[in-house]
Structure 1
Amino acid sequence: MYDLAAMGAWAEFAVRWLHVITAIAWIGSSFYFIALDLGLRRDRDLETGADGEEWQVHGGGFYHIQKYLVAPAAMPEHLTWFKWESYWTWLSGAALLIIVYWFGAEFYLIDPATLDLAIWQAIGISAASLVLGWLVYDRLCKSPIGQHPTALMLLLYVVLVAMAYFYDQVFSGRAALLHLGAFTATIMTGNVAHVIIPNQKIVVADLKAGKKPDPEYGRIAKQRSTHNNYLTLPVIFLMLSNHYPLAFASEWNWVIASLVFLMGVTIRHYFNSMHARKAKPTWTWAATAVIFLVIMWLSTAPMFRPDAEEQAAKAQRFVEAEGYTEVADIVTSRCSMCHAAEPVWQGVLWPPKGVKLETEADIAAHARGIYLQAGLSHAMPPGNVTDVSDADRAAIRDWFAAATGS
């Protein structure tokens, strides 16, 4: 049993590592080409007929790069395609989603307090939402509104906010933000696999056939590439959010996720303007900071409830603090079946992250973690499988406030 569990844990680690490696490759190449395209010098008449050129220096050498608006006059002998990065990022991410959230649906996907789903129902909603998301997005891009980039982007933002709220009403907080990231990443890879690469292949086929490629294929591909450019940073935030309960376990997590997309726009707008050699819109950093402060406030909103404020003056330490006995009972009855030297919860063979909560010293040592993950947020236990009540969480908050004087 131990060997199988260890093998499973290492398999998850290997897939996660693959996902990170391929994501770095995809994001790196994507950001590079966006910066390159924006920085091209288009103020000269090039003999080659190219739309623009750029000289760059890196690694001890100089690179002379030219971009053709549609395609060169003849098909080059060697052509490098950038597609495997996107495909493998999505495939490894999908595999990780299955391993962690489908196989571990009881812990990570389902929260009975949110919606009491059967495992097969939760998995079905998970898979169907990703497919449906791509279909709706693609249809919107191909509709008449797709000819109006700003209106399309605003409508897509409304769709993302709606999906953030939907996932929040269906899954656990952890799974809700992760799925919103997967929903967005599926759109991004769909753009590469079903629009950008196919359009480029049509252009290549026309060149080989001696035809003049239609510039509309390039326009459509660039539109989808621009969408991917602005969606990348929010996806990274959402994928990392499962490590930060203040983001995913807040009652306002869907609002937090919605604001993250706005931060992605402000940050990318600054860098895109810089790469295009335009005036740097420094206001975007102030806007980003304000949005992030709002996110911080939303994530900690429970701290400002009256009952917590009333206890803020009590400045005793953890074991001696008022309410410790009650909290110790909550922790030992709701948490220590997993967080023990020898866990008794089925399938848990060692204490998660090495955290043990069996003694006074253990509870005192991990007081802040208990407060953040089970008091201030609903991160623990996963899916609230041990049924920690709102009163229990309030008791933890009160105890922490009394011990720290906060």
Structure 2
Amino acid sequence: MYDWVVLWEWVEIAARWTHVITAIAWIGSSFYFIALDLGLRKADGMPALAHGEEWQVHGGGFYHITKYLVAPDRLPEHLTWFKWESYATWLSGFAMLVLVYYMGAEMFLIDPTVMELDVWQAVAISVASLAFGWLAYNTICRVFVDANQTLVMVALFIVLVGMAWFYTQVFSGRAALLHLGAFTATIMSANVFMIIIPNQKIVVADLKAGRKPDAKYGKIAKQRSTHNNYLTLPVLFLMLSNHYPLVFATEYNWVIASLVFLMGVTIRHFFNSEHAHKGSPYWTWAVTAVLFLLIAWLSTASIRTQPEPEASLTKGAQHFAAAQGFEDVVSIVQGRCSMCHAEEPVWEGLHWAPKGVVLETENQIAENARRIYLQAGASHAMPPGNLSYMEPEERMAIVRWVQSAQAAGSDG
């Protein structure tokens, strides 16, 4: 019979899988349409209101695509909308935020050495910051709607740098970078929900009513789509950053996150220039490489040789430390896992603990009870290849320990 830990893990798996699938669909369509838009050409024989056309070949056939900058003279019978990919990506991403960081706030969201927060306070800061992101960005766009768009991106970059620093002052390093990704993704999805689709609906309504649509709606929507295009790659990096301690668990993590946004701009500038047939600015790859090397240097600039004093146990881990079998599990984990999961790993080739998980002390083991259970009890994922020869009886001891803590929690 599945216990709550395994069941919860499968809920997270379903949410994560949904998030990845919908994100692929959204990013794919976004990249495609930006490339298509940049590659449009004027040609003889195009309809009077057409802005440009492009011929493409794919899947054994040819496609002839024509774009109307404002709108055609009549509404076509079959009109495909591209919006659900964005909505589903944000909703599934927020579900992941709730499942992992809100429900597991004491482990993943809150770091007492950064800021002492109650769970409700941390969650409130998280939600409020996402709302602030949209309000700040939308205000910038409205103020500078007719200005050079480079100015808009510079203003947005300043906001992003500020938020990168802010998040690292209130949340754990892992949660800080993940939240910066969610902050940016919320802006992107809100662009679709609040601006792009409503503007397109106004144009469609004008066509149905026989009115000539105002060109400003298309101009604004194009602006927001372009912003989304440049923000996509940094968001992907930040969403994956929680797997790499050298990114999130370093002193300069907020600077690293800020530089990632610049890398996203240089990479997209290269591809967008190629799609627009404006040449191949290979210098952007040199700049990207320099930024990446700078990030790598920053990640190890202040490696501490001495472990920090261990913090007291969080409330969520106290019942694991008090559960029956904890002393046996401590012995097992220290014997089978801590040669790698240590401040200074002794396993050859390892220079830091995998995923930043240290399992040397009783407190650290209690704090990571759920991970230990899933990786070495409910499954045989750890130790990898069973290199430290963890016995079946030892794995069962881990299972019994967590089940005992679970039973004690339900009794209490």
Q: Which residue does 1:166 correspond to in 2?
A: 166
Q: Which residue does 1:13 correspond to in 2?
A: 13
Q: Which residue does 2:352 correspond to in 1?
A: 372
Of 147-156 and 189-198, deviating more is 147-156
Q: Which residue does 2:338 correspond to in 1?
A: 363
Post-superposition Cα deviations, 1:301-322, rounded to whole Å, max 9, x if no partner, equal 134x7x69xxxxxxxxxxxxxx
Unpaired runs of 5+ in structure 1? 309-326, 351-355, 389-406
Q: TM-score, normalised by structure 2?
A: 0.78
Post-superposition Cα deviations, 1:41-74, rounded to whole Å, max 9, x if no partner, equal 1254513531110111111111110000100000
Shift of 1:23: 0.1
Shift of 1:371: 4.8
Q: Which residue does 1:207 correspond to in 2?
A: 207
In 1, distance between residues paired with 2:353 and 2:193? 39
Post-superposition Cα deviations, 1:274-307, rounded to whole Å, max 9, x if no partner, equal 111111000000000000000000111134x7x6
**Larger relative contact order (Cα-Cα within 8 Å, sequence gap ≥ 6):** 1
Counterpart amino acid of 1:273? S
SS in 2 for 1:205: helix
Shift of 1:230: 0.2
Q: Is the CA contact (8 Å cut-off) linking 1:107 and 1:385 kept in structure 2?
A: no
CA 270–139 in structure 1, closer or farther in 2 if over 3 Å, else same = same
In 2, distance between residues paired with 1:173 and 1:42? 50
In 2, distance between residues paired with 1:129 and 1:385? 35
Q: Is the CA contact (8 Å cut-off) linking 2:233 and 2:264 kept in structure 1?
A: yes
Post-superposition Cα deviations, 1:332-370, rounded to whole Å, max 9, x if no partner, equal x99xxx9xxxx94589x99xxxxx7321x5433552698
Q: Which residue does 1:142 correspond to in 2?
A: 142
Find out whether 1:129 has 2:129 as its counterpart: yes
CA 43–63 in structure 1, closer or farther in 2 if over 3 Å, else same = closer
Q: Which runs of 4+ in 1 moved over 4 A?
A: 343-347, 368-371
In 2, distance between residues paired with 1:144 and 1:39? 26
Shift of 1:386: 3.8
In 2, distance between residues paired with 1:154 and 1:232? 16
CA 8–222 in structure 1, closer or farther in 2 if over 3 Å, else same = same
Find out whether 1:176 has 2:144 as its counterpart: no
Equivalences for residues 328-367 of structure 1 within 5 A: 344-345=320-321, 357-359=333-335, 362-364=337-339, 367=345
Q: Which residue does 1:89 correspond to in 2?
A: 89
In 2, distance between residues paired with 1:289 and 1:2? 47
Q: Which residue does 2:3 correspond to in 1?
A: 3
Counterpart amino acid of 2:165? Y
Of 92-101 and 365-374, deviating more is 365-374
Q: Which residue does 2:400 correspond to in 1?
A: none
Of 35-44 and 264-273, deviating more is 35-44
Percent identity among equivalent residues? 63
Counterpart amino acid of 2:209? A
In 2, distance between residues paired with 1:128 and 1:272? 34
Unpaired runs of 5+ in structure 2? 327-331, 366-412
Q: TM-score, normalised by structure 1?
A: 0.79
SS in 2 for 1:357: helix
SS in 1 for 2:242: helix
Shift of 1:147: 2.9
SS in 2 for 1:46: coil
CA 150–88 in structure 1, closer or farther in 2 if over 3 Å, else same = same
Q: Is the CA contact (8 Å cut-off) linking 1:165 and 1:254 kept in structure 2?
A: yes
Q: Which residue does 2:28 correspond to in 1?
A: 28
Q: Which residue does 1:77 correspond to in 2?
A: 77
Equivalences for residues 38-117 of structure 1 within 5 A: 38-44=38-44, 46-117=46-117
Q: Is the CA contact (8 Å cut-off) linking 2:144 and 2:152 kept in structure 1?
A: no
In 1, distance between residues paired with 2:340 and 2:127? 40
SS in 1 for 2:338: helix
In 2, distance between residues paired with 1:168 and 1:43? 52
Shift of 1:381: 5.6
Q: Is the CA contact (8 Å cut-off) linking 2:54 and 2:65 kept in structure 1?
A: yes
Shift of 1:84: 0.1
In 1, distance between residues paired with 2:218 and 2:106? 45
Q: Is the CA contact (8 Å cut-off) linking 1:51 and 1:67 kept in structure 2?
A: yes
In 1, distance between residues paired with 2:198 and 2:258? 31
In 2, distance between residues paired with 1:201 and 1:88? 20
SS in 2 for 1:54: strand
Q: Which residue does 2:394 correspond to in 1?
A: none
CA 44–272 in structure 1, closer or farther in 2 if over 3 Å, else same = farther
SS in 2 for 1:301: coil
SS in 2 for 1:55: strand
CA 103–174 in structure 1, closer or farther in 2 if over 3 Å, else same = same
SS in 1 for 2:136: helix
* Cα RMSD (Å): 3.0
Counterpart amino acid of 2:173? G
Post-superposition Cα deviations, 1:223-265, rounded to whole Å, max 9, x if no partner, equal 0001000000000000000000100001100000000000000
Counterpart amino acid of 1:213? P
Counterpart amino acid of 2:130? L
SS in 2 for 1:15: helix
Q: Which residue does 2:376 correspond to in 1?
A: none
